[in-house]
């Protein structure tokens, strides 16, 4: 008769679980999967090997260096996902960009979710069960959605059905993972709300987004105030003024304005030398005044 899994050992956390990993899996794989689904382990970078079947093999070096610099300051916030293939040996499932940047930053270990082989269905159930918890912050929710998409191969529509949320809700959460680490950390610490985060995620320019984030924290801006600031920065710029007319054409324009008694008259000139004279009027009376100039 198989020995029952040590529930007390599971409760002690991920380190206790990894100590007797194979035995725990053999006795109660479902309980192990549930524990792993919401537990993050610190894994030595040297023990992680890249999946040889990883389809992506081209990474922007400048972007990796930028991420590595951020990791040196903030550490890795979004865990990678690995599969345990033996004692002290793990194979990467997702997060190769983060792993490469961690190596550039010379991090000794990184946070990781651990998977075991053939646990697809149980993992999906465990993650969906975990996301129903009430004490998750927006980043934790976003990471869970992303894991369900990447590790369980769920399309947005299928994922929305499984968790009982609108597709837009899932999309808005996952967009948060593209924000820089300092903003993600502020979300986790509840220093800014989901509404603030969504607004900042819509700002593509890094310097502007960083400035707005710091202003939001410093002045304790409401979501509406932040949205108004962003709208003001992103409003279409005023149309460029028409090129200045050459002096001789400008003199012609001034003579016409003097003749018709209106500064609204505009002489337009194209590069080919073609042009037109425009005389706007705001009322019938103004039109009659223009006609009187001609009649005279």
> CA torsion angle for 112, 117, 122, 123 (degrees, to 10)?
20
* Closest-CA residue to 126 (of 29, 19, 253): 29
User: What residues are paired with 83 via a beta bridge?
Assistant: 91, 115
Is-catalytic flag, 96? yes
| Cα–Cα distance for residue pair 96/94, rounded to 1 Å | 6
Q: pLDDT tens, position by position, for the chain (296 residues)?
A: 333 334 344 334 666 666 666 666 656 666 766 667 778 889 999 999 886 655 455 678 888 888 899 899 888 888 888 888 778 888 887 788 899 999 999 999 999 988 775 666 657 766 776 677 667 888 988 988 998 888 888 888 888 888 888 899 999 999 999 999 899 999 988 999 999 999 999 998 888 899 999 999 999 999 999 999 999 887 765 444 556 778 888 888 888 888 888 888 888 887 777 888 888 877 777 788 888 887 76
Q: Measured on CA atoms in the order 182, 184, 185, 186, is the torsion positive or negative?
A: positive
Domains of the chain in start order, with CATH, are 118-230 (1.10.10.2830), 247-295 (no CATH)
| Cα–Cα distance for residue pair 219/277, rounded to 1 Å | 52
At 101 the pLDDT is 93
| Cα–Cα distance for residue pair 40/110, rounded to 1 Å | 10
At 239 the pLDDT is 46
At 7 the pLDDT is 38
CA distances for 56 relative to 53, 91, 269, angstroms: 9, 15, 54
Q: What angle do CA 143, 144, 149 make, to 5 degrees?
A: 95
Give the active site residue among 35, 66, 69, 96: 96
Alpha helices (H) along the chain: 7-11, 14-19, 21-27, 29-37, 61-74, 96-104, 120-131, 138-151, 156-163, 167-175, 181-188, 194-201, 206-219, 223-234, 247-260, 284-295
What is the pTM assigned to this prediction? 0.49
| Cα–Cα distance for residue pair 163/177, rounded to 1 Å | 19
At 201 the pLDDT is 92
CA distances for 32 relative to 140, 204, 294, angstroms: 20, 41, 94
């Amino acid at each position: 008769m198989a020995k029952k899994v040590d529930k007390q050992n599971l409760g002690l956390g991920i380190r206790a679980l990894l100590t007797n990993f194979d035995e725990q899996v053999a006795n109660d794989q479902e309980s192990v999967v549930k524990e792993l689904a919401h537990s993050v382990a610190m894994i030595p970078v040297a023990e992680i090997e890249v999946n040889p079947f990883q389809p992506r093999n081209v990474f922007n070096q400048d972007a990796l260096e930028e991420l590595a610099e951020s990791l040196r300051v903030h550490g890795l916030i979004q865990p990678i996902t690995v599969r345990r293939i033996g004692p002290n040996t793990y194979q990467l499932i997702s997060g190769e960009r983060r792993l490469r940047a961690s190596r550039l930053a010379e991090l000794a270990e990184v946070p990781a979710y651990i998977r075991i082989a053939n646990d697809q269905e149980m993992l999906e159930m465990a993650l969906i069960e975990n996301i129903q918890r009430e004490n998750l912050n927006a980043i934790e929710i976003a990471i869970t959605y992303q894991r369900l998409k990447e590790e369980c191969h769920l399309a947005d529509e299928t994922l929305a059905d499984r968790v009982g949320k609108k597709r837009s809700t899932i999309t808005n959460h996952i967009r948060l993972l593209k924000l820089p680490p300092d903003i993600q950390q502020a979300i986790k610490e509840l220093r800014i709300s989901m509404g603030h985060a969504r607004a900042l995620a819509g700002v593509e320019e890094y310097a502007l987004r960083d400035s707005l984030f710091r202003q939001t924290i410093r002045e304790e801006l409401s979501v509406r105030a932040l949205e108004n600031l962003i709208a003001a920065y992103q409003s279409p710029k005023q149309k460029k003024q028409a090129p200045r007319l050459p002096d001789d054409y400008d003199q012609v324009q001034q003579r016409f304005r003097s003749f018709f008694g209106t500064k609204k008259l505009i002489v337009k000139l194209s590069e080919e030398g073609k042009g037109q004279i425009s005389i706007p009027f705001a009322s019938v009376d103004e039109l009659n005044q223009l006609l009187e100039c001609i009649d005279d």
